[in-house]
Structure 1
Amino acid sequence: MDEKDRAEQLRYLRDRRLAEIDTAQSEGRLVVGRNGLYRAREFLVDEAGARSCAAVGGITVGGPAPAGHWRLTSEVPLEADPQTVDERLEPLGLRLAMLTDDRATAVEAVAEVRRRTPPTRTPGGPRIRTAGAHLNHVLSGEPVYQGGPGGPPSPADPLAEPTGTAATDLGAAPDIAVLDTGVAVGVAVLHPGLASVVEKDADDTNLLFEESGLLATEGGHGTFVCGLVHRLAPTVRIDPGRVLSPAGFGDDATISAELLETVAPVVNLSLGGYTEDGGSPPALTAAIHQVLSQGRVVVAAAGNDASDALFYPAAVKGVLAVGAYDSSDPARPVAAFSNGGYWVDLWAPGVGLRSAYVQGTYPSSDTGTDFDGYATWSGTSFAAPLVATEIARRYAAREDTRLTPREIADAFLDELPRGSYPGGGRLYTPPVDLTR
C-alpha cells in the first residue's frame, strides 16, 4: 500500500470510527464530552454518594438493568450486568448508579450527587469534601481516535506454528491476562496452537461483526494481541477476558470488575482513553492499585494520538506504560502515531507486526479487504503485550519461587537500555522479529 492509498484508508477508517461513536451516542451508550467519552445514563458512586442518590431521586443504585438498557445487549460480556458489576466493585467501595428519570446525561446527576454529599471528618481532623460520584468513562482499543491500533490491519501470509507449542494444562493458573475484545470462536480451527494455551470462557468470546457482512473495527483485536503473546512465548497460558465490544468500547466499571477477577501475575491492557477532568478513572485506578499491591504487574498501551496528554490506564502510577517505536526503521524512531511523555516507561516495536487474526472482510474505502486468519497491524496496542509477555515468560520460568512478578519486572527493566525518546523510557527489542 503506497502512502496515498494509506492516507485514504486512514481517512476512511477515521470517518467510520466517528460514525460508530455517533451511533453509540444516538443509542444512549455513550456521550462525547469535551475531553473524553463517558456512559450516558450511568455513573459510579461511593458509599456517601449512594446515600445522596436517594435524596436526589430518579437514580437506582445497583440491581438489574432497566428494560432497554444498553447493558442488556449482546455486545457486552454476559457478566457485565449492573448487579454483577456492583458485586465485583464492592471491594473498591464503589457502586454503579443508573438514571431512571429524564435527565439528559449522567453529568447533571453527578454534579447534584456531589453537591448533596456532605463533607466527612476524621476524628480530630478537618472536614473534607468527598467526591461522592464519578462519571463512568468509556475506554477503548479504538483506532485513530484513542487507544489501540494506529490504522487498519492488512492481510498477511500464514505464520508457522511457534516452536515449543504444546498442549497446556489449562486447569493451572494463567501466566498472563489479556483484557480486550476476547478471542474468536474459530480460533481452535484457525490457530490450534494458540487455542491450546487460551482459557475458554463463554464471556470471553470475541464478537467480530457489528455490521452485516463486515468485521467491526475492533473485530479480532483481542485475537491479534493473544497471537502476539503466543508468537513470543508459545507455552505461556493466556486468560483472555472480554471487556470491549466489537467496536472496541468498554468502560471504567466493566473493565475494573473484570480486572478484580483476574489471578494472572501479569495483566495486559491494550485499551485506554482520556477523562473529562484529566484525572485517572476512579474504579480502574483503585482496581489496578489492588492488583499492584499483590506484587503483580499491569502493562498498558500508551495510545495513538501522537500526544503527551495523560492517557489512562497507562498513566496510572505503577502501571508499565508502553509506547511504540517504528520497527520498520533501523533507527527505531517513535512511531508516528504513538503517544509519549514522562509517563511512558518503555518503548517496543509497534509497526507492521504480524499475528493470528480472524476470517472475514474488513471495511475499506473500496470493496473491503478479505482476511484468512492472519494480519499485519500497527499500534501501541501491539507494543504493550510484547513487554507483558516477556515479564510473564520470565516469571513462569523463574527458579526462585519467592520472587514476585513485580520483582521479575524490575530486574527485566534494569537490563534494558534507555532510549532517546520523549520523556525517556527504556527500549525493548524482542528476541523474535514479529514483523516477519
Structure 2
Amino acid sequence: MTKTATPDEPTPRKRAKKGKPKLRDGVMKRGATWSYVIRVKDPETDVSKPRWVGGFATEDDAKAARDEARVKARRGEYIDRNSITVAEYLDQWLDTHAMEIKPGTVQDYRIGIRLYVNPHIGKMKLQAVRPSTITKLYRDLLAKGGRNGKPLSVATVVHTHAILRRAFRDAVVVEQLLDSSPVERAKRPRARAEEPGTVWTPAQLRTFLAVARRHRLYAFFHVAAYTGARRGELLNLRWSDVDLDGKQITITGSAGVVDGERLEGTTKSGRTRVVSIDDETADVLREHRKEQAADKLLAGDEWRGEKDCHVFTTGFGEPIYPDTVTALPRKLINAYNHPKEGKPPAEPLPYARLHDLRHIHATTLLLAGVPVHVVAARLGHADPAITLRVYAHVVRSAETAAADVFAKAIKAA
C-alpha cells in the first residue's frame, strides 16, 4: 500500500529540493563561497551567453563584483575570468610578440623576466595583479632583488618596469585579458638620466686616434668619434651605405650579439638616418677601402666578404664581432700609458669606453653651439628630449654662457 504524505511531511520531490542553493538576482552560494552569473554578448556571434564567476568569500563581495561586471558588459568591456599566471602569460607574450621585437631585445626581456619578475609574482594569476602588487615588486627589487639578496639598481628596476608596462599593455589591448593595466598605476622609482662616462678633451681624443692609427680598425674609431654613431650601427654599415663624394653615410641597421651569435637588425629607434661626414673622415674611409681591397687580394680564395661588403671586416672579409671593438680601446690606452719600450707619457690618457666616443661627439657639438635637435638627429635619438636629458649638464653650461653672448651682441649692434 502506498503511503500518503501528511501535510507536515515533505514529499520525495520536496526532500530532493531541500537545501539546494538558490540563484537570487544572479548570485548564489556554492559550497563555502559565493558566485555570480551574468549574460555577456559574444561580439562575433552576437549571441548572449551566461558567464559564471565564483570564489567570493561573502554574498556582498559577489554582488559588488556582479554589479561591476554588469556595467562592463553593457559597455562591451567585460573580460572573462582567466586562470593564466603571470609567468605563463609573459612566456606566451614573448613568443607571440618576438616577431616585432629585435632578437637582442627579446633575449634581454627573457632574462629580466626570469630574474626579477617570475621569482616574485610569476605564480600569481594575471587577473589578480593589482597596482599595489607591482609597487611592492619594485620595493622588493630595490631592497634585495640583486644577486645574493643585495639591492638592485634603480636603472634595472626601471628597465623591469618598462618590460612589464609593455607586456601588460598588450594584455589589455591585444589579448583582452585585462580591462586596465595595473602597471600604469603602480608607483615606480624615478629613472635616472644616463650619465656620460669619461669625456675626453679634443686634445685627448686626438691622442687616442693617433695611437689607434696603427691598428687595422683605426677607421672604425675615427668614424665613431666623428659621427657619434653606435657600435652596432657602424658594424652593420656596408659600402653601399657610404657616399664619399656626397660626404654622408646612411645608418640602416645595427649588429648585436644574442646567445653568443652575431645578429643584424634595425636601429634602436627602428628608423634609418643620414649622417654627414667631413672631408677628413671621407679621406679616412677612402684609405680604409684601399686597405680592405689589399686584404681581399692577399686572402684570395679565402676571402669571405659579400658582394656588398661590410665597411669594417676581419682580414678575411667577415663582419666584425661586436665585442672585439668594445675591448680594443682599453688595450690601446694601456699600450699608450704603459709602453714596453721608452718612457710612459707625461700625461696618461684617461680610460674611456668605446661608447664614450659617442658622448664626446655630442658634448663637443653642444658646447660649440650646435642646436640640440641637430645633435639629436645625428645621434639617432627619437626625441630631442632624450638628448636634453642625457646631456643636461652640457646644456646648462652653454646656457650660462648665453647671457654673456647676448650682452656682447647688443653692445656690438
Task: Return the TM-score normalized by structure 1.
Answer: 0.26
Greater relative contact order (Cα < 8 A, sep 6+):
1
Work out which of the two has the higher radius of gyration on C-alpha atoms and give 1 or 2: 2
Structure holding more helix per residue? 2
